[in-house]
Amino acid sequence: MHKLKSISKMLQSSSLKKTVNCEPTTVNSYFYYIFCCLFILLICAVGQSFAQNRYSVKWVDDGDTIVLMDGRRVRYIGINAPEIDHKDKKAESCGYIAKNYNKNMVLSKKVRLEFDKERYDQYGRLLAYVFLEDGTFVNKVMIGQGYAYCLYRGPNKRYNKKLLGAQRDAMTARKGIWKNWKEEKNGYLGNKKSKRFHLETCAFGKRTGLKNRIFFSSKWDAYWEGFAPCKRCVE
C-alpha cells in the first residue's frame, strides 16, 4: 500500500513536470504564430503602400515638369531646365533637348515621388524628387547630363548637396548647357539666403542685405556655388 502511494505520487509529479514543461512551449508557439501573422500583415501593408506611391507619367511638359495619369502636374525640386517656347517667349538653348531627354526617361513609365517640407508651388504643382522603378534619381540625372541647373528653393533642400555635386560634374565635363559656354565679363551680386544672383546694376539685387551679399566675377562662378540667375536681369 505504501508502495502504491509512492508510485502515485511519482506519476503525479511526472505529470506535473510534463505540464509545466509543455506550457512554455505552447505559449512560445502561440506568440511566435502571432508574431509571424503580424509580420506578414506589415509586409503586405508596406508593399501596398509602396505600390500606391508609384504613378504613371502621362505627359512631359519640359525638362523639369511632368503630368501624371491622374492629371496632377509635378515640378522637379531643386532644378531648373531651359525653357521651351510658349506664349510670346522663344525656346532657350537646349530647351527641347532637355524636354526630349526627360521624355525618353520617364514618359509612360512608373515613378516614385518623394516630397520635402513644402509640397506645392505657387501654381499648384506638386513639388517632388522623382525616382524611376530602378532607383534612378531623375532630378539628379537631368542636372548631371547638363540639361538643367540647380535651383535652390527653401525649405526643400534635402538633396541640395547631391544636386550641386552633379552640376559641378556636368560643368567640368562641359555637358549640355555648359558645352559651349561663353559669357561677357560682368560683376554679379548673389544673395546667400535666396541663392539667386543678379547683375550688380539690378535693382532687385541691390535690395540684398549686406550680410547676405556675395560677389562673383562671372556667371560660371555663381553657378559653381549653386546660385541660380535672376530671370529679370541675367540671360
| H/E stretch holding 131 | strand 126-132
Which one of the listed residues 118, 125, 174, 196 is annotated catalytic?
125
Cell of 115: 516630397
Peptide bond into 155 cis (omega under 30): yes
Instruction: Tell me the C-alpha distance between 7 and 1, whole Å.
Output: 10
Amino acid at site 181: W
- Indicate if 83 belongs to the active site: yes
Q: Which among 194, 199, 147 has a CA at the least distance from the CA of 171?
A: 147
Which one of the listed residues 72, 83, 184, 213 is annotated catalytic?
83
Q: How many helices (H) and strands (E) does the chain have?
A: 6, 11
Which one of the listed residues 75, 158, 168, 213 is annotated catalytic?
75
Q: Please, which contacts does 165-168 make with residues 24 or more away whose CB atoms are closer than 8 Å?
A: 166/140, 166/141, 167/143, 167/223, 167/226, 168/224
Instruction: Tell me the C-alpha distance between 225 and 192, whole Å.
Output: 10
Under DSSP, the state recorded for 113 is: E
Q: What phi and psi, each to the nearest 5 degrees, are found at residue 44?
A: -65, -45
Catalytic residues, by residue number, are 75, 83, 125
